């Protein structure tokens, strides 16, 4: 079979995240990635509301940058929520270390909000929550993990899909949600609203 290429009706993944691109490709549908650098300011509202607000802000930014596109647009935002507060992406090693000690020996929640933009319709919003329990980390383990560099560019300073797996005792919920894209939820959302994206161009 020839490789499937994006057509004018295919999905756009509006994201700079290499993880989201990799995960979405598992659906086996054509899509195109368009990355935007959208600011992600946090506020005091509950994390489950903030991720929705940020996913919608990404969709809005995409629409301003590409006002004429008629294609379905998928945006997402993932946050790490511990005790009702968001751990964002650390900006340096000290911040990453602090986050890892905060997560150590505890359960936290990883929430991803999806915003699907369809022509002439209000955005469709869905969220997924996965609970993650960290092992009790020693200082030596945190020092080792910081040296892997995996803390960079990820919420909560760890990557479940890489060596960060060694920090985790248990999860409840979708693994892919922690990586940034809850695959079954994305699949269901597209199947129910834009089934055309599953047909070959």
Ligand X SMILES: Cc1cn([C@H]2C[C@H](O)[C@@H](COP(=O)(O)OP(=O)(O)OP(=O)(O)O)O2)c(=O)[nH]c1=O
- Least separation, in Å, of the C-beta of 36 and ligand X? 7
Cα 101 to Cα 151: distance, rounded to the nearest angstrom: 13
- Least separation, in Å, of the C-beta of 48 and ligand X? 14
Cα 88 to Cα 162: distance, rounded to the nearest angstrom: 18
Q: Which of residues 17-56 bind ligand X (CB under 6 A)?
A: 17, 19-20, 35, 40
Q: Which of residues 110-169 bind ligand X (CB under 6 A)?
A: 110, 154-156, 158-161, 164
CB nearer ligand X, residue 20 or residue 71 = 20
Piece of the chain touching ligand X by CB under 6 A; list 3-11, 62-70, 137-145, 176-184 = 176-184
Number of H helices, E strands in the chain: 6, 7
- Are β-strands 107-117 and 85-87 bridged in parallel, bridged antiparallel, or unpaired? unpaired
- Least separation, in Å, of the C-beta of 110 and ligand X? 5
Q: Known catalytic residue: 37?
A: no
Cα 31 to Cα 43: distance, rounded to the nearest angstrom: 32
CB 55 within 8 A of CB 125: yes
Q: Which of residues 60-119 bind ligand X (CB under 6 A)?
A: 76-78, 80, 110
Cα 157 to Cα 151: distance, rounded to the nearest angstrom: 4
Q: Is 16 in the site for ligand X (CB under 6 A)?
A: yes
Half-sphere exposure of 172 (CA within 13 A, CB side): 5
**Residues annotated as part of the active site:** 77
Give the binding site for ligand X (CB under 6 A). 15-17, 19-20, 35, 40, 58, 76-78, 80, 110, 154-156, 158-161, 164, 178-180
């Amino acid at each position: 079979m020839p490789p499937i290429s994006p057509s004018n009706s295919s999905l756009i993944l509006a994201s700079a995240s290499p993880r989201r691109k990799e995960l979405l490709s598992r659906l086996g549908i054509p899509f195109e990635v368009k990355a935007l650098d959208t600011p992600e300011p946090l506020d005091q509202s509950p994390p489950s509301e903030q991720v929705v607000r940020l996913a919608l802000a990404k969709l809005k930014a995409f629409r301003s940058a590409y006002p004429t596109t008629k294609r379905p647009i998928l945006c997402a935002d993932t946050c790490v929520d511990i005790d009702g507060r968001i751990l964002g992406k650390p900006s340096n090693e000290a911040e990453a270390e602090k986050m890892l000690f905060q997560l150590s020996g505890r359960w936290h929640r990883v929430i991803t909000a999806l915003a699907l933009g369809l022509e002439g319709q209000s955005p469709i919003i869905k969220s997924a929550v996965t609970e993650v329990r960290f092992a009790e980390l020693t200082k030596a383990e945190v020092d080792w993990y910081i040296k892997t560099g995996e803390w960079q560019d990820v919420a909560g300073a760890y990557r479940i899909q890489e060596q960060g797996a060694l920090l985790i005792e248990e999860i409840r919920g979708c693994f892919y949600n922690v990586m940034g894209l809850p695959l079954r939820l994305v699949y269901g959302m597209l199947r129910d609203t834009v089934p055309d994206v599953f047909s070959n161009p």
